Amino acid sequence: MQTRRDFFKSVAGAAAGAYIAGRGVSASAQRGGGGGRGAVVPPGPRKQISIGGKRVTVIDVHAHCTVDGVAEVVKGTPFERQAGGRALGADRIALIDSEGIDIQVLTINGYWWWEVQDRDLANRIVRAQNEGLARWVSDHKDRFVALTSVSLQFPDLAAEQLDYGVRQLGLRGATIGGHVSGQSLSDPKFDPFWAKANELGVIVFMHPGGADNIIKEEAWKARGDIGNIIGNPLETTYFLTRLIFDGTFDRFPNLKVCGAHGGGYLPSYFQRTEVACDVRNNAMCANKKHPREYLTTNIMADTMVLTDEGLRHLVAEMGVSQVVYGTDNPLNWPVPVEMIVNHSTLTDDQKIQILSGNLMKLLKLTPTLA
């Protein structure tokens, strides 16, 4: 099977590569996002969002970054080239200022380090990532929180890393991809990780990488960047679907798993999943509850469905408690905070829940705005 990093290189690289030098966007952010121009804005006034005359906090759950310190760890290894990317800096603060984001939830994506077979090296990479994140967050306490990277190819180690990241480094949860070398994360071998997330009650943010576990690269050789626009939601759909049908959510009922890009296709096209166990007599479903119960409790999604009607539908399907604002920063998807603030059908209370209320609770943040 083609490796994840090859896939990223070929699919995202063509589109994204050219921008990296010129636009100063980190390589790993480009991988996860799959092409597109990064937003770079000059420092300017901080945009402040109000709803009904009241200042509201805006939290962005979907934000890519890389940190210093990883390059040194992988120097001289086959992974040397993966550590690249420009680390967080003042331009990120300028960006979130300009977009009205008060607090950004940082994650390192791409998950190339899941291919590292040397356990010690794997651990050191993740340690460098998490300490780098913790350092940045500590220096910018009022604007950023972060989620731990984990070495999910070693599930027990991943559990330790999550525990350490949350308890010792003050990180708020974990970020993961949709598979480890093609293995579904619903496989019981990954239970130690899920058990730890369940125990800690922290958010797990899942970001896809073009469904290279499902679709061969050749299938994406087509116009429309469909490796990204179909591949990403597909990987997330498959990932969440397996967590449902294989009973992962039953084993770990406290899980909160947030899927990027509106949770892929799953929440927006939930009905086929919903009836599968009833209608398909070969479905062998292991889930104990009706699929919708997981959709409205364990599964969360960011708001990246990109249209007013899409967001109305997402909220109608999942319940407003499951939907959180996300931008895919620093990539330039059209997801301004106004999409929530000016939404045509959401109530003010619902808008506030999506912009920050849901995440305040889950990330255990204290409201700091008057």
Partner 1 sequence: MRNRRDFVKTLAAATAGSFVAQRPATSLGAGGFAWAQGGAAPKRREVFIGRKRIKVIDSHHHLNIADVARVVKGTPYEPQAVTTGDGIVGPERIAWMDRDGIDVALLTQQGAFWYGVQDRGLAREIVKAQNEGTAAVVAKYPDRFIGMASMPLQFPDLAAEALEDGITRLGFKGAGISAGWAGAKNLTDPEYDVFWSKAQELGTFLFMHPGGTNGNGDPHFGGKGALPNTIGNPLETTIFFSRLIYEGTLDRFPGLKICGAHGGGYLPSYLGRTDAQCRRQGDVCSGKKRPVEDYFHTQLMADIMVFREEGLRHLVAELGVGQLVYGTDIPFGWPVTPDFILNARVLNDAQKEQILGGNLIKLLKLTPATTA
Binding range to partner 1, per CB under 8 A, among 23-31, 131-139, 276-284, 294-302: 276-284
Residues 23-52 that bind partner 1 (CB under 8 A): 35-37
Whichever of 35 and 165 has its CB closer to partner 1, that residue is 35
Least separation in angstroms between residue 183's CB and partner 1 is: 10
Whichever of 135 and 313 has its CB closer to partner 1, that residue is 313
Least separation in angstroms between residue 113's CB and partner 1 is: 22
66 binds partner 1 (CB under 8 A): no
309 binds partner 1 (CB under 8 A): yes
CA triple 146-128-125, angle to 5 deg: 110
Least separation in angstroms between residue 255's CB and partner 1 is: 18
Binding range to partner 1, per CB under 8 A, among 85-93, 134-142, 166-174, 214-222: 214-222
271 binds partner 1 (CB under 8 A): yes
219 binds partner 1 (CB under 8 A): yes
278 binds partner 1 (CB under 8 A): yes
Residues 222-241 that bind partner 1 (CB under 8 A): 222-226, 228-230, 232-234, 237-238, 241
Site string for partner 1, 310-329 (x = CB under 8 A): x--x--xx------------
Whichever of 54 and 272 has its CB closer to partner 1, that residue is 272
Site string for partner 1, 73-112 (x = CB under 8 A): ----------------------------------------
Q: What is the 3-state secondary structure (H, E, C) of the chain?
A: CCCHHHHHHHHHHHHHHHHHHHHCCCHHHHHHHCCCCECCCCCCCCCCCEECCEECCCEEEEEECCCCCHHHHHCCCCCHHHHCCCCCCHHHHHHHHHHCCCEEEEECCCCHHHHCCCHHHHHHHHHHHHHHHHHHHHHCCCCEEECECCCCCCHHHHHHHHHHHHHCCCCCEEEECCEECCEECCCHHHHHHHHHHHHHCCEEEECCCCCCCCCCHHHHCCCCCHHHHCHHHHHHHHHHHHHHHCCHHHHCCCCEEEEHHHHCCCHHHCHHHHHHHHHCCCCCCCCCCCHHHHHCCCEEEECCCCCHHHHHHHHHHHCHHHEECCCCECECCCCCCHHHHCCCCCCHHHHHHHHHHHHHHHCCCCCCCC
Q: Which of 129, 153, 186, 329 binds partner 1 (CB under 8 A)?
A: 186
Footprint on this chain of partner 1 (rule: CB under 8 A): 15, 35-37, 182, 184, 186, 213-216, 219, 222-226, 228-230, 232-234, 237-238, 241-242, 244-246, 261-262, 265, 268-286, 290, 304-307, 309-310, 313, 316-317, 332-334
